[in-house]
Amino acid sequence: MKTTLRPRLFRIREIALIPLIISLLCFQLRAVDEVSGEVEAEAGPHPLLGGAERVLFLGDSITQNGRYIAYLHTALMLLEPEAVAGVEWLNLGLSSETASGLSEDSHPFPRPHVLDRVDSVLEHFQPQITFVCYGMNDAIYHPRDEERFEAYRSGIRQLVEKLNEAGSLVVLMTPPPFDAASSPGDLQPADAAEFGYQKPYRGYSEVLQELGWWILSQHEGVFATVDLYEPLVRFIEIAREDDADFKFGDGVHPGPDGHLVMALSILDALDVPLPEMPALAVPPAVDGRTMQLAFASSPRTLPPFHPWPTYWDLSPFSSGPELMLPEGLQDLAAVTLTETREGQEPVSATVPVVRQRAALDLAPGLPVNQRRVAVFETLWQMHQALSPAAREAAGHTHVNKARDVPPIDEARATAAEQRRQAATQAAPIPFNLVVTPAEP
């Protein structure tokens, strides 16, 4: 199994086999500097870890897909199950939507404008923190144009103002990149006569990058900004080093791997403290080429959604725990991890050894990993049911309406039950691992 080592590209916390002492950072909930307009810190829990009663997401089809939201939700649920279970998450992303209010002539219907529905969204849901991700559709797949840029800037400013007036913290996120190599569209040169989502400008990603630079410069009324563009560009570059034919979704919409990078980028930008490895209940016992480990609790990080060696362990987007192997196991190409738990049959999996370490996430079949995947699946199902109900309850101008959705009160009650179910699944439990040489 080929494993490529990469330098880290953004700050994912280092992993240790010692008890981790995590101090939750205190974030502000509503103070604004009178001079700069920046949000300043007040004592209180992190807004994503119980400091807010309701978290809202606004954006286009990338947000409507919602997988990055479910990944983010999963990471936080694993970190603080009880606190996060009490926070309502609502994905109000809407396909084709813009903040600029622009629409290309070739689009089959006028693109929805978030400012046409935000008042209703706020009236229905009263969020304490709102994530905003627009830009992919806002330059309508054209080369750079100052009028379109100004329409985008104006729309974002008005949106931030409305959210602030409603009492919500605002997190602005840059648009993801446009990957021309993955696009099935008819790519156009800068001097083409027509542009649109089916005929995108070949260099459209550079246009989105400039929109992102402006987003990252915003401070007035903004709690935080998140750069999604650069981590995704780097992710694509690394993926193509291993696979020249790698596709970044359809060039506009990231695949599941891209959504995972988006979630990790948000966690990193908001400085959410993620413990990487649970504490050992007792020191490891090593006998030659066998190591026995007893953990006080199960891992509380993201589960192994994509068990590709290149993207785990010492790679830039690692989110999973690693085992530092003793001298007797460090020279091996692979080791076998056997999970044992009282009352259950042992389960084994083989993983490669990279820099004297074994990544637990490369063994998705272990019950401890399946348990974390179950948290994601519960929350993913919750978002897929709640999101269309919330979107239709608030109303929108998209020509396609969701049908057969439950009443919003019923959908919210069901979602609350699913959050409690996920919290139960996320509750840490002790587990044991035996590490031995892999059979040839």
**Predicted confidence pLDDT, tens digits, the chain (440 residues):** 222 222 223 333 322 222 222 222 233 333 445 445 555 545 567 778 778 899 999 999 999 999 999 999 999 999 999 999 999 999 999 999 999 999 999 999 999 999 999 999 999 999 999 999 999 999 999 999 999 999 999 999 999 999 999 999 999 999 999 999 999 999 999 999 999 999 999 999 999 999 999 999 999 999 999 999 999 999 899 888 888 999 999 999 999 989 999 998 999 898 887 666 788 999 999 999 999 999 988 888 888 776 544 443 334 445 567 888 998 899 999 999 999 988 889 999 998 888 888 888 778 889 998 999 999 999 999 999 999 999 999 999 999 999 999 999 999 999 999 999 999 999 988 999 999 999 87
Q: Is residue 8 part of a domain?
A: no
Q: Residue 208 in contact with residue 139, Cβ under 8 Å? A: yes
Say if residue 439 is exposed, middle or buried (CB neighbours under 10 Å; 0-12, 13-18, 19+): exposed
- Domain identity same for 130 and 259: yes
CA–centroid distance for 328 within its chain? 38
Rg (CA), the chain: 23
pLDDT value at position 320?
Answer: 64
DSSP 432: E
Q: Is residue 11 part of a domain?
A: no
Return the structure tokens found at 112: 């929805």
How many other C-beta atoms are found inside a 10 Å radius of the C-beta of residue 78?
A: 27
Q: Is residue 74 part of a domain?
A: yes
- Domain identity same for 321 and 406: no
- Domain identity same for 107 and 163: yes
Return the structure tokens found at 89: 């998450």
Say which CATH number the domain at 164 has. Answer: 3.40.50.1110
Percentages (nearest 5) of helix, strand, coil residues in the chain:
35, 15, 50
- Domain identity same for 156 and 107: yes
- Domain identity same for 140 and 64: yes
- Domain identity same for 247 and 141: yes
pLDDT value at position 306?
Answer: 65
Q: Is residue 392 part of a domain?
A: yes
Q: Is residue 23 part of a domain?
A: no
How many distinct structural domains can be found in the chain? Answer: 2
In 34-106, DSSP assigns E strands to 39-40, 54-59, 88-91
pLDDT value at position 154?
Answer: 98
What's the domain range around 242?
31-275+370-426
- Domain identity same for 249 and 309: no
pLDDT value at position 307?
Answer: 52
d(C-alpha 320, C-alpha 362), whole Å? 9
- Domain identity same for 93 and 138: yes
d(C-alpha 304, C-alpha 10), whole Å? 19
- Domain identity same for 118 and 142: yes
- Domain identity same for 379 and 307: no
- Domain identity same for 237 and 380: yes
- Domain identity same for 166 and 305: no
pLDDT value at position 149?
Answer: 98
Q: Is residue 188 part of a domain?
A: yes
